[in-house]
Structure 1
């Protein structure tokens, strides 16, 4: 990155700066690692102790934050957003020039926009269209009649099967497979036969899917991931699943077939959703939850239930050993008392 005077950065951010006007920012770093000429930020009060001991030359924080010395505080209303803008300014993404590797195989009826970047050992099937400024990294396989939108990025060794629709500015991580056949079987003449999957997958605009994920195509219809949703690494989306807009899913989660996930749902890591159920818009699902029935609100546990119920159950479980001892003592005390047969009354 090119060093930038802190006063110039402050002007760019519309930030308040009362520190050394000659400070030059040479990099960005976490609070605990930042040096005297580096920029950091405090957006979460849980890191207040790190802010107090940080050696960062400038710290993005809300004006008047007591944990940040005023002489090192770049005052902004939203430190997280300001840090994002700062990093994008100091480390702008590398702009790739249009390129079509001679080692790529493009079918005769496929169309690749002249502004796209297509790396080595890529295969692109008949009827497929690659949009403006799309980036297709090395080793990607794209099937037939696929649409890849403008500005989309498909990372190394991903596989996009036939008829998948990928929107604008979508990012698909390395090794991810979109549009494979789902886990659906039907009994025919006493044998389990895989049901034909003749549907497709639609990935709407501004979706991000991490590395080594799998999104199965619909059986007869569409598996859909809604606009602006963000999926971490190692996530499975079963056939016919409908994921709404702006959904956030942490790593190692799974969605069974035909489940429906409402807009704005947030899902912690290693949680799972059973098939053919609905999760209401705005639901928050705790990590490692097993969601076995339709749900809303904040849920956690296995099976998942309302968060307040789960916390009560966990509290009782912490005292289980004590309760067992008390019950055992009561049983012992009662066993020595003469009994009374109420049938004789």
Structure 2
């Protein structure tokens, strides 16, 4: 086998598995193109049409002549997976151009198991070249979801139509992620569907929380500092006494507090103060989220209109994505 740069000595039984190589061998024999040595090997010329390079043929023959166990078996950590992928791509290219369905199927299956070593755009380019529709949906999905922008080189591979459509899908996907984030944060009774704030809901929720909260029984006591009390008061009487004689107790300016507070009322003021601060933070946070949600609604419509949207559904409807027959 002779190319513009190299000469390969290959067993004919291997070449006979390629339909076009078989035809080239037949034509060479009809023209009596043999080597001058006694073995009279058939010489076939590989046309330089740009579809297959000399390196592709070399890689393909390495794949064919390599043992299954050493090349395609369990890969050791020291194996160069990228080199193997490159050889498999060459084998796929040669099998497609020169007609070897078995080798093509084998190369495709091996490459599919090693997609982590190939990029989405490289799989799209291979599909353009070698007609691999089963690769396109996953490759375009990966391209639409990745955060990195599409490069100039990738845009040239895609072409204007696919580049514009992918840019549109990527924009829709970014908006979906944004709205999912906002909706996930604001799924509560504090916001209307269009993003406006239900200001009374926060207060109502706080009132209900206080209304139904049950605390242990108060055992505060008022010291007997007034003539109207003959002994210490406890429980509800202490509360009534506290309010009835609050002014007198303030004026007493005793060295000790007139009220012996229980554990609940010792910590209640700080809890109440912290609760009001948290309420203020929550109210401010929800208002800011409401602004974001309202802006999103004005730009793209109320959330929920695109419930059927997905990258997969968009790509399945696209006529620029090849479909498996």
Q: TM-score range by the shorter chain?
A: under 0.3
Q: Which has the larger radius of gyration?
A: 2
Query: Counting strand residues as a fraction of each chain, which structure ranks higher?
Result: 1
Query: Counting helix residues as a fraction of each chain, which structure ranks higher?
Result: 2
Q: What TM-score do the two structures reach when normalised by structure 2? A: 0.24
**Higher RCO (Cα < 8 Å, 6 or more apart):** 2
